Chain A
């Protein structure tokens, strides 16, 4: 099943790199210029009609974003992953929201979390998960989470005493019962 898909993709895209292959699963990497062609070809002529997920990986050392589109063919239960690499500065990726309307939500999330722009998405820039975010996008690897959290939310100061009676006082559970009250008065 997956052999036929692989053969047709290799004929059309000679620069294609094979990442992983299993009996019902194929992961290929294409040039960024031919990524949209590969996705359209998979949808129209290879039968991968469902978009499952769009994901993004920040490869900061190589100064790249790796985008992956996960497509599914429910007729013969096969999965196709198409990856492409885009430069990290001012990253622009074509939108798929006119082909699959569901792609709009994934693209809004990636825009918020990585700062990748998808021109052509009608709802681009709307708040998805973060409301009123002003820092650099939080899933980029140069965003320092712990530093940000300590600066904005702060830390609870540790206890000065280790004996719970010092800071809970009357609220210690055993003193709440009538017997406990009697014992407390005896002390």
Chain B
């Protein structure tokens, strides 16, 4: 069962209540346990006692329905992009994307590969990029703190941009996924 309607345009919310909501959102970032590429290896130490991401309120969740953050950890093949779109659209609003590694920024060492995409933000709205190949867990935590700051300031609006410019993103996605068999809207 999928929703077969276009997403509603999200309204602009301001005021004290929204600030309190944003504060709560920033301090309980729940991450979908989904890894693409080699960056998934760097995320495992984040949960251990040395780096301990739970002191920032970051926790791993088993399904996208319970999560707010999707981490694109490393190079993304076109075959994987199909699954990532499916996962991203199933996350409840508000949702954020953190992209790790130089592969998501400009292709990295796979810039001339026939199967990995070079510029991620043509296909999905990215809130925070973390550079490195691969970034160390400290750098990932720095990226998370930047995302928290953006949420508190009300600047992490990637999910709104995705809903408002859905046609642009769909056009780019369908250009590289030649056997498109997903439902049009799967939230």
Beta-carbon contact of B114 and A131 below 8 Å: no
Contact between A149 and B112, CB atoms less than 8 A apart: yes
The answer to whether B146 and A143 have CB atoms under 8 Å apart is: no
Do B118 and A156 have beta carbons less than 8 Å apart?
Answer: yes
- In the complex where A145-B112, A176-B149 touch, is A154 in contact with B118 (Cβ < 8 A)? yes
**Neighbouring B residues of A134 by C-beta, 8 Å:** 178
* A143→B111 CA distance, assembly (Å): 16
What is the size, in residues, of chain A's interface with B at 8 Å between Cβ atoms? 21
Any chain B CB within 8 A of the CB of A25?
Answer: no
Among B86-117, those with CB < 8 Å from A are 105-107, 111-117
Beta-carbon contact of A153 and B146 below 8 Å: no
Q: Which residues from A are CB-within-8-Å of B161?
A: none
The complex places the Cα of A89 from the Cα of B79 at a distance, in Å, of 29
B115-A155 in contact (CB<8A): no
Instruction: Judge whether B177 is part of the interface by a CB distance below 8 angstroms.
Output: yes
Q: Given A132-B177, A132-B178, does the pair A156, B113 have CB atoms closer than 8 Å?
A: no
A153 near B142: Cβ-Cβ < 8 Å: no
Contact of B119 among A130, A146, A153 (CB under 8 A): A153
Question: Does residue B59 face the partner (Cβ distance < 8 Å to A)?
Answer: no
Contact of A153 among B117, B145, B179 (CB under 8 A): B117
Interface membership of chain B positions 162-187, coded 1 if the CB is closer than 8 angstroms to chain A and 0 otherwise: 00000000000001111100000000
Mask: chain B, 68-87; 1 = CB below 8 Å from A; 0 = not: 00000000001100100000
Distance in angstroms between the alpha carbons of A148 and B111 in the assembled complex: 11
Taking the complex as formed, is B6 at the interface, i.e. its CB lies under 8 A from any CB of chain A?
no
- Do A146 and B112 form a contact, CB below 8 Å, given A155-B106, A176-B146? yes
**Known A145-B112, A155-B118; further 11 A-B contacts with Cβ < 8 A:** A131-B78, A131-B178, A132-B178, A133-B178, A149-B113, A150-B112, A152-B176, A153-B118, A153-B119, A154-B122, A171-B146
List 28 A–B pairs whose Cβ atoms lie within 8 Å, in order of A's numbering. Answer: A129-B79, A130-B115, A131-B78, A131-B177, A131-B178, A131-B179, A132-B178, A143-B114, A145-B112, A148-B114, A149-B107, A149-B112, A149-B113, A149-B114, A149-B118, A153-B107, A153-B117, A154-B119, A154-B122, A155-B107, A155-B118, A156-B106, A156-B107, A156-B119, A171-B146, A171-B150, A173-B142, A176-B146
**Contact surface of A with B, Cβ cutoff 8 Å:** 129-134, 138, 143, 145-146, 148-150, 152-156, 171, 173, 176
